[in-house]
A and B are shown apart, each in its own frame.
Chain A
Amino acid sequence: MRVGVFKFSSCDGCQLAFFELEEELLRLSEKVQIQYFLEASSKNTWDYFDLVFVEGSVSTPEEEERIKKIRESSRFLVAIGACAVSGGIQSARNFEDFSEIYFSVYSGRYEVNPLSKPLSDFVKVDLEIRGCPINKEALREVLIALLQGKSPQLPSYPVCLECKRKGNPCVVVAKGLICLGPITVAGCGALCPTFERGCYGCYGPVEKPNLQALLEGYSRLRVSQDLLKELLRISFNGYNKSIREWL
């Protein structure tokens, strides 16, 4: 099996999950050929891939071309992390005045798109691994399942389920904190509530998030619609297809 790992606009954090596999990475390399992974190897070839993992969002004309080229040369494409799945924290700019942000930074030489978008806005994505960053357990599950020709089993239920299973007191009820757990997909181990704070949504929305119900629930805590929208815009997944219209 020929594998490639690619990076677009991102922080590098999701690719690190491969390094965190440690010895498993070494064993894996006996079963698959890692043909393209700039951060891991100085020897890279790009022809045809059975499986590619793509980190990062598409935010320049060059990246638009490159993701299409990768798609054409790959059988199975996995988007890894909030940038690739939803556009990432940099997509918070999609809801604001881009030129003001841009010209306060650079003097106009670099070609950057006004919007930072997920891969699925440009190409067919076969599978998503969620998280900002993804965790190595999910990566391991996907790698092993695909090697064995099975479908990977990743959570589709919300963080709340994971949080209850851990026996955490609910931070909304006990502390009156805003928590995006009810509409955020599980997989992190309910990290933020475990550390006594509200979930900030870094694994992105569940398949059909009921935002209206969440808003009604929070209106009792005097949380306005504007505030909920702002929180979702900086949830690292604000430009996810399932919530961007609502924001």
Chain B
Amino acid sequence: MKVQIEALTRVEGEGSLEVFLRDGKPESLRLSIYEPPRFIEGILKGKPYQVIPDITARICGICPVAYQMSGVQAIEDAFCVKIPEDIEEIRRLMYFGEWVQSHALHVFFLHLPDFFNVPSIIELSKIDKGLVLAGMEIKRAGSLIIQTLGGRTSHPVSVVPGGFSALPESLSELKETLEKALEKALWTVEKLKALNFPDFELKEVLFVSLIEEDYPILKGDIYLEGVRVSPKEFKSVFVEFEVPYSTAKHAMTKDGRVYLVGPIARFNNAFEKLSPLAIETAHKLSLEPMVKNPHKGILVRIVEIVHALERSIRIVKDYKKPQKSKVEVVPKSSTGYGVSEAPRGILWHSYSFDSEGRILSADIVPPTSQNQRAIELSLWELIKDRENLKEDWLRDHAEPVIRSFDPCISCATHFLKVSLKDAKKFTLA
């Protein structure tokens, strides 16, 4: 017998949850992703390296900047291009914009309604309009950063290998919007403090995030339990595998351990590197490492929103338009790796190129596929001792658990390996 939620709601993309019962007791479950694959990496083969940021952005409408940043850094790694610090700082700013808008979308539009027992933000606005409007203002501030630097929030157009196609003369008009959004974020913290959380802990899960000088976002080695792994070594530590019930592959460590990426992992691994106001916010919310309750992801996201806004204000204040918006990129036959912290966790890209820079193979591992095992493990903890499971109960209890991980199902279906046998001639004039 089977109980199921046919279509998960308030998540990005399409999936379902099935629980299999024997004598009325749960025997197994599967988080099934039926989003059709779009073969993005297959489409990339034979194309010139320049199309990577535009095409991979389309894997996800919510975190396109993450795809662009991991993508261009993989290209630059392959072609040995060094990016000046001032351009990297603008990349961080754009990326912070995406964290703010993506986290605000999840916190206020998708996740928060669960804590008020309402089906949507529209219903939530009838209970606490101020909170909803604050969330919208925060989201708008994040979007404005991306629009200013890249023309539009989803699939911005300025990110190119080597830097940006063009950069604004000044960013001073952003400052006031960001400061107001930061004020609003701090105000919502007082409200979020009052939320009640189900008593629930992730057991035996590794927390995996990047490590860099600052709180991780743009680049760095991968950190797990005191071990540092370079982007190049990613596939020697983690394995992906197909499962019959999902168009998204699963991932585990090579020694068979379940791991979690994303805000909670970053917070647990790099708490002390958060901005001063973000640390203060964490204290206010009684949050400290190790956070193990996935429902508290909403609190960690608001801490990261505060961090991202505070850091962005600093970058905007210090902004001087770089002399050159991009550095020269000369292709060569090589393989490169790029990894960054998408809002939902580490996003790893690898490409091989021929001597003219055409793509021979592409390999992308997005965060949601890496988190599927941890989500399933959490769901199992929730239901394993339940008898007489009903669909209504699953919707009320299991769906919020899935939602708390902020899965991005559209992303998860698009990672795959492609190898190219005969590259088609293709050059950009």
Contact = CB atoms under 8 A, between A and B. Distances in A.
A42 B122 contact: no
B81 interface: no
Contact of B120 (A43, A62, A93, A112): A43
Contacts of A242: none
Contact of A93 (B43, B51, B153): B43
A102 B136 CA distance: 40
Q: SS class of chain A's interface: helix, strand, loop or mixed?
A: loop
Interface in A90-122: 90, 92-93, 96, 100-102, 104-107, 109-110, 112, 116
A92 B54 CA distance: 14
A12 interface: yes
Nearest to B166: A196
B58 interface: yes
A102 B122 CA distance: 41
Contacts of B59: 11
Contact of B132 (A26, A34, A101, A133): A26
Contacts of B232: none
A156 interface: no
A34 B43 contact: no
Contact of A105 (B109, B151, B417): B417
Interface residues of A, number: 68
A230 B43 CA distance: 11
A72 interface: no
Given A41-B122, A42-B113, A234-B43, A197 B38 contact: no
A57 to B, nearest CB: 9
- Residue of A11, A110, A192 most packed against chain B (CB within 10 A): A11
B152 A191 contact: yes
B399 A42 contact: yes
A20 interface: yes
A202 B155 contact: yes
Contact of B39 (A25, A93, A230): A93
Interface in A4-29: 7-16, 19-20, 22-23, 25-26, 29
B73 interface: no
Contacts of A41: 9-10, 119-120, 122
B322 interface: no
Given A42-B9, A192-B157, A11 B132 contact: no
A10 to B, nearest CB: 7
A133 B62 CA distance: 11
| Chain A CB within 10 Å, residue with most, of B12, B43, B59 | B43
A67 to B, nearest CB: 13
A43 B119 contact: yes
A40 B416 contact: no
A75 B129 CA distance: 33
A44 B119 CA distance: 9
A90 B39 contact: yes
Given A12-B410, A38-B14, A194-B151, A104 B122 contact: no
A167 to B, nearest CB: 15
A203 to B, nearest CB: 12
B287 interface: no
B39 A101 contact: yes
B37 A135 contact: no
Interface in B389-411: 395, 399, 408, 410
A195 B164 CA distance: 9
Given A106-B37, A132-B58, A195 B122 contact: no
B163 to A, nearest CB: 12
A90 B157 contact: no
Interface in A181-236: 188-189, 191-192, 194-197, 200, 202, 221-223, 226-227, 230, 234, 236
Interface of A: 7-16, 19-20, 22-23, 25-26, 29, 34, 38-44, 59-60, 62-63, 88-90, 92-93, 96, 100-102, 104-107, 109-110, 112, 116, 132-133, 135, 178, 188-189, 191-192, 194-197, 200, 202, 221-223, 226-227, 230, 234, 236
Given A20-B143, A104-B42, 19 more contacts: A10-B61, A12-B410, A13-B64, A13-B155, A19-B105, A38-B14, A41-B9, A42-B9, A60-B36, A93-B42, A101-B45, A101-B418, A104-B417, A105-B416, A110-B36, A112-B37, A192-B157, A195-B151, A227-B427
13 contacts: A8-B36, A10-B410, A26-B129, A42-B113, A89-B55, A90-B40, A96-B43, A104-B417, A106-B37, A106-B242, A192-B157, A195-B158, A234-B43
Across the A-B interface, the 10 shortest Cβ-Cβ residue pairs: A13-B61, A101-B42, A41-B120, A43-B119, A90-B38, A105-B416, A191-B151, A196-B166, A42-B9, A11-B61
